[in-house]
Structure 1
Amino acid sequence: MTRLFFWLSGASDESLAECPSWERRKYVAFGATVLVPSAFAAVAAAYALSTLTDDWRVIAAVSMVWAFIILTVDRALLATYRAYQSFFRKLAQFSLRIVVAALMGLSISHPLALLLFRDTINTSIEKQRDADIAAARKEFDANKKAVEAKIAALDAEVATQRKQWDETFNAKFLVQDALPGAAKPMTAEEAKAKQELDKKIADATAPGREKITTIEKEITSLNEQATKLQGELDFWQKEFERELNGQRSGIIGLGPRAKSIQADQLAWRRDESKRLSGLLESFTTQLNQLRADVASTEQSLTTQAEVAAAEVLRKSQLDQQRLEGLKQQVQQQQADSFVEQQNGIRATLRAQIDAKLEQSKSFAGELMKLQQDEQQRVAAIRAEPRRDILTQTKALHALFENDAEGGRFALIAYAVLTALFMLVDTIPLVVKFFSKPGPYDTLLDQDEVRFDKERLAFLKSYNRYMEGLSEGRLLHLTRNKPLEHALIEGVDRSRAAKEFLEHLLELERAFDERIRRERELVATQDGSKAAMVEEMAQAFYRDMRRRMELFFHEETPSRISA
């Protein structure tokens, strides 16, 4: 178990074996801190995957892979930290670790926060689902109302056209004759004849009517005088009777005052009253006679006019009978045309009604389709699982913004949870950053310094060797790729190979100097000596190649055989 925690902390077992026990316990703790975020990452990944699938095998496999990734990243960051490096390099590494810890903390804490507030998030999601359903129904209601309005308009048009259809059967073609006993309108000739008759009657009765008017005025004046006189007689008659009774003078019987009233007031008024009565009777007799004469004149003229009108009526009836026959013929022709016209109107109305009924049927189908689509849409919204991370994250953010439902507490809890995982993930590096280097750090630094020194020495020797190799012709004359690789990489293989190659390089440089002088000497002589010099050079390089093949064949037979 200890070795497992050593491995998790990125430390070497051999180096820790040389360290004190307290140093080993420290790295066991480091390994445990690496294991904790991985465990939480597995839980978070399992919950996140459970929102996508119910297959526990997929959830378990992916969760373990994710936990291993988190563990590997934490272990790599912890293992690459060096206590003896410069402050700025440590600060840069620590900053990078903080960024990685923040990302890892979010990736781990976010699913756990969703799990922590799952009930509230589900409630928010269901509220949003209800809102989506209400919005969908509102949209479909608006569409259905528009279709229903079109159907209502078509129904109204169909009703109007059906009424017109019914009216075609009640259409009036002929004007009905006047009902028996009904007043027949006066014709123009009759009106003119009546006017002439009225004029004749007025002219014939004008003198009599003037006399009647004069007498009526006289009678009216006499009636006024008689009425006034009768009032005065009544007054003085009462006064006379009071005198006779002694009510005023105290003398009963015909006394002086009674006699005076009788002689001065009553006598002449009684005579005047008799005279006026005679005049009224005479004027009344004259008035009645004049009225009788006027009526007789009117009757005579009216009788003459009626006789003439009867003759005209007889002739008119004959003409009317003749016109009735012609009228019936014309009306029959017009009736046939009218019936044909009404049939055409009915056919047009029927076609229009059928078209509108078909259109109304189409709208009814569209309305039914909208109802079905609404039901399917609502069913689809209800069937949506809405368990994915994005939907739950949106609901969680909505919860953060809604302080009335504990949004501030949820936000604080989310931040605390994220900070907690960041702290857990950075504890090993924080402890290393702020603590004094331990024995393991010292041993590790010694190994790295030793390796760097050896590497630097090797690079210097290798560069010197490559410069010498590039200056000679040894590399160009091998003509064997595996041998060239062995020649180039030989210095990195073993000390014997390095010494062998350095010996060959010295021989090649000495021979090259000697052969150069020989070529200068034979340049002025015959060609046979120059050929001997070239043959000697080729024999030298063949011998060197043979030596290299034999040496490297023993060192790397697989490379030479390739």
Structure 2
Amino acid sequence: MLKRFFILCSGADKTLLDTCSEGEQTKYVGVGATVFFTAVMAFIAGSYALYTVFDNVYFAVFFGIVWGLLIFNLDRFIVSTIRKRDNFRSEFLQASPRIVLAMIIAIVISKPLEIKIFEKEINTVLLKEKNEMAIANKNQVTNYFKGDVTKNQAEIDSIKANIKAKEKEVADLYQSYITEAEGTAGTKKMGKGPIYKEKRAAHDLALKQLDSLKTASTKAITEKEARAKTLQADLDKKVADSKPIIDGFDGLMARITALDKLPWLPSFFIMLLFLAVETSPIIAKLLSPRGEYDFKLEDNETALKTHIEQNVYQRNLQKQTDAGIYDQVYADLRDDKELYDYKRKAASELLKLQSDAYVEKQKNVM
């Protein structure tokens, strides 16, 4: 049962192969097994590749089955269409397009499996790239809000600076009228004279202005600080909104790019392995000597070709012979006097009828 299945996978003529030796059948069983297991690996690779893209097991398995069947059909076609001949050069030229196709298939199959094999290393590369992207994104968002944040903070600092300047002015006026009363500065006359009263009035006015400034400034600072919190919240929201996008940076293309950043030698050898598996049936057929199956297949094909060529030749010969016979028959009829008189009489009657019809037509016109 398994033997017949692998022979079916090899694309060989089962009826013809049954007439061959056991060794010849075993050779094609090996070819069919290679084709089958290549398709199985294609199924695994295709399923994993689609799972990394859509993150859906059912869809990935469905696509993997379709992809595996496609590779199976292509490999079976490639192997079954190679014909063994006595000239290796012509055989190689015949197989070269199929070898190129097999190489492309091997690369396509190997890449998703390489991604799976080096998954941990790829995750490390992706984590580093995600961190770099997160830092760059935060810096970009911060620079976007930097102008508004800086301007808002500068306005707060300006208001606070005005308050401090006014407080210093009030403190200086306080010190001025106190020293005036003590007689240690100003007029240096102890007591509360006219100068003291002027300085005290100036201090009281400045103190009232300070209170008014603090009241107005407190409201303005509260609004500015609230705006600062709003700007910070907007900045944090921007960063948070972009975080899922950065975290989702692990699709198929990202993993392929990350794989290229790893040392190339292990990945190269894995690709060579799949290339050897994919091309092994073709290479085996090219290098193996002509077997019993090849001779019988060539015999059947040449017998059919000879039969078709004979039929074509006979049809062409029959056509030429029939043409010669008909040429001779019509040549003999041309010299027949009775046939000539009969056709002459019929033609004469036809001309008379045409002439009478023309005359009647002209009378009607007139």
Partner of 1:174: none
1:257-272, aligned counterparts within 5 Å? none
Q: What's the offset of the Cα at 1:456?
A: 2.4
Partner of 1:396: 259
1:526 and 1:91 map into 2 onto residues whose CA distance is 69
Conserved in 2, the CA contact under 8 Å of 1:109 and 1:414?
no
Partner of 2:128: 127
Matched, 1:21 2:22: yes
Conserved in 2, the CA contact under 8 Å of 1:522 and 1:529?
no
Conserved in 1, the CA contact under 8 Å of 2:95 and 2:282?
yes
Matched, 1:106 2:107: yes
Q: What's the offset of the Cα at 1:517?
A: 4.3
Conserved in 2, the CA contact under 8 Å of 1:114 and 1:396?
yes
Partner of 1:447: 300
Partner of 2:203: none
Deviation digits for residues 51-98 of structure 1 (CA, Å, limit 9, x no counterpart): 123443322222122111111111111111111164332112333333
1:514 and 1:363 map into 2 onto residues whose CA distance is 118
Deviation digits for residues 262-284 of structure 1 (CA, Å, limit 9, x no counterpart): xxxxxxxxxxxxxxxxxxxxxxx
Partner of 1:88: 89
1:550-561, aligned counterparts within 5 Å? none
Q: What's the offset of the Cα at 1:458?
A: 3.0
Aligned length: 317
Deviation digits for residues 500-537 of structure 1 (CA, Å, limit 9, x no counterpart): xx87x6775555435544599848x995244799xxxx
- Gaps spanning 5+ residues in structure 2: where? 168-179, 181-185, 188-211, 351-366
Conserved in 1, the CA contact under 8 Å of 2:153 and 2:228?
no
Partner of 2:155: 154
Deviation digits for residues 170-196 of structure 1 (CA, Å, limit 9, x no counterpart): xxxxxxxxx9xx99xxxxxxxxxxxxx
1:330-345, aligned counterparts within 5 Å? none
Deviation digits for residues 117-142 of structure 1 (CA, Å, limit 9, x no counterpart): 11121122122112211111222233
Amino acid at match of 1:19: C
1:530 and 1:515 map into 2 onto residues whose CA distance is 17
Partner of 2:331: 513
Amino acid at match of 1:70: I
Matched, 1:426 2:244: no
Partner of 1:375: 240
Q: Secondary structure, in 3 states, of the residue corresponding to 2:127?
A: helix
Conserved in 2, the CA contact under 8 Å of 1:519 and 1:530?
no
2:127 and 2:308 map into 1 onto residues whose CA distance is 66
Deviation digits for residues 154-173 of structure 1 (CA, Å, limit 9, x no counterpart): 3345567889999xxxxxxx
Seen in structure 2, the aligned counterparts of structure 1 residues 163 and 20 have a Cα distance that, compared at 3 Å, is: closer
Q: What's the offset of the Cα at 1:433?
A: 1.3
Partner of 1:292: none
Seen in structure 2, the aligned counterparts of structure 1 residues 380 and 29 have a Cα distance that, compared at 3 Å, is: closer
Q: What's the offset of the Cα at 1:465?
A: 5.6
Q: What's the offset of the Cα at 1:439?
A: 0.6
Amino acid at match of 1:444: L
2:83 and 2:339 map into 1 onto residues whose CA distance is 65
Conserved in 1, the CA contact under 8 Å of 2:88 and 2:286?
no
- Gaps spanning 5+ residues in structure 1: where? 167-178, 184-345, 401-410, 469-501, 534-562
Amino acid at match of 2:310: A
1:413 and 1:370 map into 2 onto residues whose CA distance is 44
Q: Secondary structure, in 3 states, of the residue corresponding to 1:61?
A: helix
Seen in structure 2, the aligned counterparts of structure 1 residues 530 and 87 have a Cα distance that, compared at 3 Å, is: farther
1:58 and 1:78 map into 2 onto residues whose CA distance is 30
Query: Paired residue for 1:528, among 326, 340, 345?
Result: 345
Conserved in 1, the CA contact under 8 Å of 2:99 and 2:282?
no
Seen in structure 2, the aligned counterparts of structure 1 residues 514 and 424 have a Cα distance that, compared at 3 Å, is: same
Partner of 1:35: 36
Q: Secondary structure, in 3 states, of the residue corresponding to 2:53?
A: coil
1:151 and 1:464 map into 2 onto residues whose CA distance is 104
Partner of 1:139: 140
Q: What's the offset of the Cα at 1:151?
A: 0.9
Conserved in 2, the CA contact under 8 Å of 1:154 and 1:360?
no
1:519 and 1:147 map into 2 onto residues whose CA distance is 119
1:526 and 1:109 map into 2 onto residues whose CA distance is 84
1:54 and 1:139 map into 2 onto residues whose CA distance is 31
Q: Matched residues, percent identical?
A: 25
Deviation digits for residues 182-233 of structure 1 (CA, Å, limit 9, x no counterpart): 99xxxxxxxxxxxxxxxxxxxxxxxxxxxxxxxxxxxxxxxxxxxxxxxxxx
2:231 and 2:288 map into 1 onto residues whose CA distance is 77
Matched, 1:64 2:65: yes
Partner of 2:360: none
TM value normalised by structure 1:
0.48
Partner of 1:293: none
1:73 and 1:364 map into 2 onto residues whose CA distance is 64
Amino acid at match of 2:331: E
Matched, 1:44 2:70: no
Deviation digits for residues 307-339 of structure 1 (CA, Å, limit 9, x no counterpart): xxxxxxxxxxxxxxxxxxxxxxxxxxxxxxxxx
Deviation digits for residues 324-376 of structure 1 (CA, Å, limit 9, x no counterpart): xxxxxxxxxxxxxxxxxxxxxx9xxx9xxx99998997676444322211122
2:37 and 2:17 map into 1 onto residues whose CA distance is 22
1:42-441, aligned counterparts within 5 Å? 42-84=43-85, 86-158=87-159, 365-382=230-247, 384=248, 386=250, 388-400=251-263, 411-441=264-294
1:31 and 1:376 map into 2 onto residues whose CA distance is 53
Conserved in 2, the CA contact under 8 Å of 1:5 and 1:32?
yes
Partner of 1:456: 309
Conserved in 1, the CA contact under 8 Å of 2:130 and 2:249?
no
